[in-house]
Amino acid sequence: MWMSVEVNGHIYEREVTEHWTLLRFLREDLELTGTKDGCSAGECGACTVMLNGEAVNACMVLAAEADGATVETIEAEAVDGELSEIQAAFARNYAVQCGYCTAGMVMSVRELLRLNSKPTVAEIKEGIEGNLCRCTGYQQIIEAVLDVSGQINNGTRGGLKYV
């Protein structure tokens, strides 16, 4: 099918394989490999991207469904090599280890903060419920979210006492 989709501000017009997922289209056709494939089954959240401004699992959407849509991926987070606020908070709080979950995690945090600018720890846990991380134990990620939403200061950073 011929389709037109805006990804990270660029408009792509091209033939899309009708049985491909949006995840496969992003990674293999557009070579935007920042978005990861963890399970291909909606379980892990590594493939989370923004579709028309809302977080979705790219493995649970057909590429063809994005015809006429706007997509944002992790590649749009940093601007001119400058980390976004969420990315910087992840780095500051050691919220990244192997990094496989990070792209999806950052997208989910962006969605959470879009809907709730000062989430509580319980709300953060709910917001990242669909993103599995096998390395960090989540605590550093939760701290990164508290940090980027202005709920943590230098004195309390790294204490994990909020979690």
Partner 1 sequence: MNDVFKYRAPTSRAELFGMLAAHGEGAKILAGGTDLLVDIRSGLVRPELVINLKKVEDFSELAWSQSEGLIIGPATTVNDVLHDAKVRDSYPLLADCALTIASHQLRNRATVIGNIVHASPGADMAPGLLCLGARVQIASQRGQREVPLKDFFTGVKRTVLSHDEIVEAITVPTSTARSRGSYRKLKRIDGHDLALVGVAVTSTDGAVRVGIGSAAPTPLLIEGLTDEDPADAVVAAARDAIRPISDLRCSKEYREYMIEVFVRRLLEEVR
Positions in the binding site for ligand FES (CB under 6 A) = 37-40, 42-47, 57, 59, 96-102, 133-136
Q: Which of residues 44-83 bind partner 1 (CB under 8 A)?
A: 45, 48, 54-57, 59-62, 64-65, 67
Stretch that binds partner 1, among 12-20, 79-87, 142-150, 153-161 (CB under 8 A): 12-20
Taking CB under 6 A as the criterion, the residue among 18, 42, 126, 160 binding ligand FAD is: 42
Contact 142, 162 (CB under 8 A): yes
Q: Is 126 in the site for partner 1 (CB under 8 A)?
A: yes
What is the 3 state secondary structure string of the chain? CEEEEEECCEEEEEECCCCCEHHHHHHHHCCCCCCCCCCCCCCCCCCEEEECCEEEEHHHCEHHHHCCCEEECHHHCCECCECCHHHHHHHHCCCCCCCCCHHHHHHHHHHHHHHCCCCCHHHHHHHCCCCCCCCCCCHHHHHHHHHHCCCCCCCCCCCCCCC
Q: From the CB of 125, what's the least distance to ligand FES, in Å?
A: 15
Nearer to ligand FAD, 38 or 113 (CB): 38
Positions touching partner 1 (CB under 8 A) are: 1, 18-21, 40-42, 45, 48, 54-57, 59-62, 64-65, 67, 108, 111-112, 125-127, 129-131
Positions touching ligand FAD (CB under 6 A) are: 41-43
